[in-house]
Structure 1
Amino acid sequence: MNEKVGLMMSRVSFLIIWLGLIVYSVFLAPDGNGSYLSDLLTLNDPDAGLLAMFSLLGVFPAVFAILLLRNDSGSVPAWPFVLGSFVLGAFSLLPYFILNKNKERSNRTPNKVRKFLQSRGLSIVLIGLAFGLMVYGLFAGEATIYQKAFLESNFVHVMTIDFLVLTGLSIVALRDRDGVAGWIGLLPIIGPLSLVITKNGKERKHA
């Protein structure tokens, strides 16, 4: 009974976060965009920090493909939500965490796709890409420009919050799917994928 209550509370929490994110993005976040959005989309000399964050949001959905599609056997198929996250980020993934229930059924993910998602090489490539983007953004970007964009641009403001929510969801996915937790999960993209590599390595040794 306590487990059912805990699961219900968790799903209600995700619902509150999802609705709060929508309301905040529409009504409370800055309502302008200036040239920040167009500069990013056209690569018209955007600030390195903004470009790095924008690019990392393109990497994160691939991380969730690894976390959620290796074993897509819940009550709700994960792939539509993962696919939607390439455009909508956490706005697409949160409904999955709200609706999905653990269920004993066969894995929906085809074996070839599952093996690709579980491959060490894929995780290493994504870790390297994320690390390169983070270093580029931190050392080539201007903190004052990012701060100004965060306060003025709806797109920059929302994408930054979206990135933080995705980081939290990746930790939840690891905990629920793999029973893996740790502070390293707080390191976006790199932390969760490092834990996946470690877990897969241990499973191969014991196979």
Structure 2
Amino acid sequence: MLRKLGFTLLWIGAIAYAFGFAPPDRPETFSLIQNLSTGNWEGINPAIVALFNVMGIWPFIYSAVLLFDGRGQKIPAWPFAIASFAVGAFAILPYLAVRSPNPDFDGDKNPLLNLLDSRGLGAFLSVGAVVLLAYGVTQGNWAEFAADWQSWRFIHVMSLDFCLLSLLFPALLHDDMARRHLTRPVVFWIVALVPLLGPLAYLTWRPRIESRQ
């Protein structure tokens, strides 16, 4: 109960901060999102390009865990997984607030679950993330990014969303490891303590779940 209450309060707090305390937004936010989404990146800080596209990788990481976890929940996980592609951690937090521990998986895997369970997906996402991180770190204007973070709600909240997604993943990791009969604590802590690349390495390495009736 305390765990669920904690996630609920964190969700409410994140929404309150994003709309009540984060820096004001700018008129050019919509055009920036449009250009980022369509690949029209000319003139955009590569650090922002990298962050925006990495935020598109996180929902796949969560989906690869959520949809297995949701098989045994009273409330299905797929609406939260879909919503996370648009609002990130703001969709994950309410799921964490209503879910119950679920270290088992019963039944057959459908084609979507087979795809999400494949190591190939983890490897593909990992390559994409490494390329994006290298691009952002080496080409990005970080002084400009810091200034935007302090004065632009879109950049500010997107950055905090990345941090939240990194911090929340361990809340689902323990049960996913149990479903795969992984019991080594060192694996949990390596994945939990390395943002983005830790979860991606886990998706690439973790054993597949066998269908069970």
Relative to structure 1, the CA distance from residue 127 to residue 103 in structure 2 (aligned partners, 3 Å threshold; closer, same or farther) is closer
Tell me the alpha carbon deviations over residues 51-87 of structure 1, each in whole angstroms, 9 at most, x when there is no partner.
1111111111011111111342222211100000000
Deviates more, 1:189-198 or 1:94-103: 189-198
Q: How does 1:27-66 map to 2 (within 5 A)?
A: 27-33=20-26, 35=28, 38-42=31-35, 43=40, 44-66=42-64
Q: Aligned partners of 1:147 and 1:15: how far apart in 2? A: 30
TM-score, length of structure 2 as denominator length: 0.83
**How many residues matched?**
196
Matching residue of 2:181: none
Task: Give the Å deviation of 1:101.
Answer: 1.7
The DSSP-based 3-state class of the residue aligned with 1:116 is: helix
Q: Aligned partners of 1:141 and 1:97: how far apart in 2? A: 34
Task: Give the Å deviation of 1:181.
Answer: 1.2
Relative to structure 1, the CA distance from residue 119 to residue 105 in structure 2 (aligned partners, 3 Å threshold; closer, same or farther) is closer
Conservation of the 8 A alpha-carbon contact between 2:119 and 2:204: yes
- Stretches of structure 1 that go unaligned for 5 or more consecutive residues are 1-7
TM-score, length of structure 1 as denominator length: 0.85
What is the percent sequence identity of the aligned residues?
Answer: 29
Conservation of the 8 A alpha-carbon contact between 2:119 and 2:206: no
Task: Give the Å deviation of 1:32.
Answer: 2.6
Q: Let me know the Cα RMSD of the aligned residues.
A: 2.4
Tell me the alpha carbon deviations over residues 17-70 of structure 1, each in whole angstroms, 9 at most, x when there is no partner.
101100001110001325455334223521000111111111110111111113
Q: Aligned partners of 2:195 and 2:103: how far apart in 1? A: 30
Relative to structure 1, the CA distance from residue 104 to residue 139 in structure 2 (aligned partners, 3 Å threshold; closer, same or farther) is closer
Relative to structure 1, the CA distance from residue 159 to residue 107 in structure 2 (aligned partners, 3 Å threshold; closer, same or farther) is farther
Q: Aligned partners of 2:29 and 2:47: how far apart in 1? A: 12
Matching residue of 2:183: none
Q: Aligned partners of 2:163 and 2:103: how far apart in 1? A: 31
Conservation of the 8 A alpha-carbon contact between 1:48 and 1:140: yes
